[in-house]
């Protein structure tokens, strides 16, 4: 597992650097709108290209299931975006860029990587929080997870981003992006009688803020809301800066199923930091139903001590 970890950390570090460069000089033309009307940027594509290339060089036999693909970039009308990606990958040919992005078109199997090259693209566009999320899944469960969080200060140092990783059964660790000593992280110790810090999506369309609001009301003044984009929420909870992360289905999209790359890395990191991750009914997440969490609805992520209480409150009808 150590070899997987070393390569995964290097790949995420490399991608994080490019994402930071793109974000520093981001212009409107750097993004496209996908079929589902969500945005994708030069940085999402460059990040996926770099990480897929690195993983495939090291582990040619392991499929990669990535969020993005190069189909839109192969169309003439998007040539500008493709050229822009090339500016950030100066030694790469156009075909190398396109083909490396498409290395992420693998299928979920007994052992595969899942990659979200930028999770929280809307946060990235706002120059706010986003994460590069990579996980290795074996027999339907994440066994290695890495989260690169370029805009999440490490130890309060605003100029240093945060890297977090976990190996199943071995704990969760954090270090600064750019290198440094890895330290183990643990979730908070807060119980239902303490202050409860709730994490929620910035994008109202990705969650059900009104249901969450009703649940928080149960805790009165002790409930605090904290909003972050992306899987940064998992990293924040794993290092005890928050206690609960709820992702409840939105009434506008009641049938929405979560994508595996939006949760695999973060869920393992929180679990290895001592927390609990289930769906809104208390059922463990099942990552062996293709690219979506088809057997689960909504998500409840807690420090463990709060889990039962939250599930009870959500399901009391
Ligand atoms: N309707 C709906 N419900 C739930 N989730 C959705 C929905 N639509 C999109 N997405 C996914 O949300 C991912 C971003 O996660 P967050 O909502 O936590 O971040 S953010 O506040 O929106 O930035 C985002 O991931 P990225 O596309 O990688 O940014 C989407 O996969
Ligand atoms: Mg997306
Ligand atoms: Mg995502
Ligand atoms: Mg994404």
Please write down the long-range contacts of 201-206, taking CB distance under 8 Å and 24 or more positions apart. 201/227, 201/229, 201/233, 201/247, 202/122, 202/123, 202/126, 202/128, 202/227, 202/228, 202/229, 203/122, 203/229, 204/250, 205/250, 205/252, 205/253, 206/247, 206/250
Q: Is 229 annotated as a binding residue?
A: no
Answer yes or no: is the C-beta of 290 below 6 A from any ligand 1 atom: no
ipTM of the assembly? 0.95
Residues 6+ apart with CB under 8 A from 278: 284, 285, 299, 300, 307, 311
Could you identify the atom of ligand 1 that is nearest to the CA of residue 120? 29
Q: What are the pLDDT digits (tens) for 112-171?
A: 999 999 999 999 999 999 999 999 999 999 999 999 999 999 999 989 999 999 999 999
Distance CA 140, CA 115 (A): 15
Strands 223-227, 244-247: pairing is unpaired
List pLDDT tens digits, range 116-130. 999 999 999 999 999
Listed by start position, the domains of the chain span 2-185, 196-314
Place of tokens 């940027």: 41
Q: Which residue in 78, 86, 15 sits closest to 52, CA to CA? A: 15
For residue 268, give both structure tokens: 């393992």
Q: How many whole angstroms from 149 Cα to the centroid of ligand 4? A: 13
CA of 33 to the centre of ligand 3 (A): 15
Q: Confirm or reject: Cβ of 250 under 6 Å from ligand 1.
A: yes
CA–CA separation, 292 vs 297, rounded Å? Answer: 11
CATH homologous superfamily, domain 2-185: Fructose-1,6-Bisphosphatase, subunit A, domain 1 (3.30.540.10)
- Phi and psi angles of residue 224, each rounded to the nearest 5 degrees, phi first: -125, 140
pTM for the structure as a whole = 0.97
Cα(187) to ligand 2 centroid in Å equals: 28
- Ligand-binding annotation for 262, yes or no, is yes
Residues serving a catalytic function are 44, 121
User: Inter-axis angle of helices 2-24 and 42-58, to 10 degrees?
Assistant: 160
Cα–Cα dist 99/115, whole Å: 16
Residue whose Cα lies nearest atom 18 of ligand 1: it is 230
Average pLDDT over the chain, rounded to an integer: 96
pLDDT by residue (tens digit) across 51-102?
Answer: 999 999 999 999 999 999 999 999 999 999 999 999 999 999 999 999 999 9
Q: Is 95 annotated as a binding residue?
A: no
Q: Rounded to an integer, what distance in angstroms lies between the CA atom of residue 245 and that of residue 231?
A: 10
Q: Which atom of ligand 1 is nearest to the CA of 39?
A: 27
pLDDT tens per residue across span 214-266? 999 999 999 999 999 999 999 999 999 999 999 998 888 888 999 999 999 99
The closest alpha carbon to 47, from 26, 21, 78, belongs to: 21
pLDDT-above-70 percentage for the chain: 100
Q: Looking at residues 200-204, what average pLDDT do you find?
A: 89
Whether pLDDT at 309 is above 80 = yes
Residue nearest to atom 9 of ligand 1 (CA): 206
Atom of ligand 1 nearest to the CA of 122: 23
Whole-number Å distance between alpha carbons of 120 and 183: 26
Measured in angstroms, how far is the CA atom of residue 266 from the centroid of ligand 1? 14
Note the residue count of the chain. 317
| 99 in a known ligand binding site | no
| Pairing relationship of beta strands 223-227 and 196-200 according to DSSP bridges | parallel
Give, in words, the CATH class of 196-314: alpha beta
Contact 114, 28 (CB under 8 A): no
Ligand with an atom nearest the CA of residue 45: 4
Reported confidence tier of residue 317, pLDDT bands at 50, 70, 90:
low
């Amino acid at each position: 597992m150590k070899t997987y970890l070393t390569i995964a950390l290097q790949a995420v570090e490399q991608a994080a650097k490019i994402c930071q460069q793109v974000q520093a000089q981001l212009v409107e033309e750097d993004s496209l709108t996908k079929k589902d009307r969500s945005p994708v940027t030069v940085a999402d594509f460059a990040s996926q290209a770099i990480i897929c290339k690195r993983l495939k060089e090291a582990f040619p036999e392991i499929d990669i299931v990535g969020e993005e693909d190069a189909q839109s970039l192969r169309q003439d009308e998007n040539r500008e975006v493709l050229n822009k990606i090339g500016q950030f990958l100066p030694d790469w040919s156009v075909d190398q860029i396109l083909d490396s992005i498409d290395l992420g078109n693998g299928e979920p199997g007994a052992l595969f990587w899942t990659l979200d090259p930028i999770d929280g693209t809307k946060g990235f566009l706002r120059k706010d929080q986003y994460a590069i999320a990579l996980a290795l899944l074996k027999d339907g469960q994440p066994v290695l997870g890495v989260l690169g969080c370029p805009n999440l200060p490490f130890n309060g140092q605003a100029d240093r981003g945060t890297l977090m990783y976990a190996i199943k059964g071995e704990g969760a660790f954090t270090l600064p992006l750019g290198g440094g000593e890895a330290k183990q992280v643990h979730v908070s110790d807060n119980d239902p009688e303490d202050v409860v810090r709730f994490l929620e999506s910035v994008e109202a369309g990705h969650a059900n803020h009104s249901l969450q609001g009703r649940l928080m009301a149960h805790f009165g003044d002790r409930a605090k809301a904290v909003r972050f984009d992306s899987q940064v929420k998992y990293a924040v909870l794993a290092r005890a800066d928050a206690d609960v992360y709820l992702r409840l289905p939105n009434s506008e999209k009641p049938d929405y199923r979560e994508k595996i790359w939006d949760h695999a890395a973060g869920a393992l990191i929180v679990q290895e930091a001592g927390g609990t991750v289930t769906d809104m009914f208390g059922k463990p997440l099942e990552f062996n139903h293709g690219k979506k969490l088809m057997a689960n609805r909504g998500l409840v992520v807690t420090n463990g001590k709060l889990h039962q209480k939250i599930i009870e409150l959500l399901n009391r009808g």
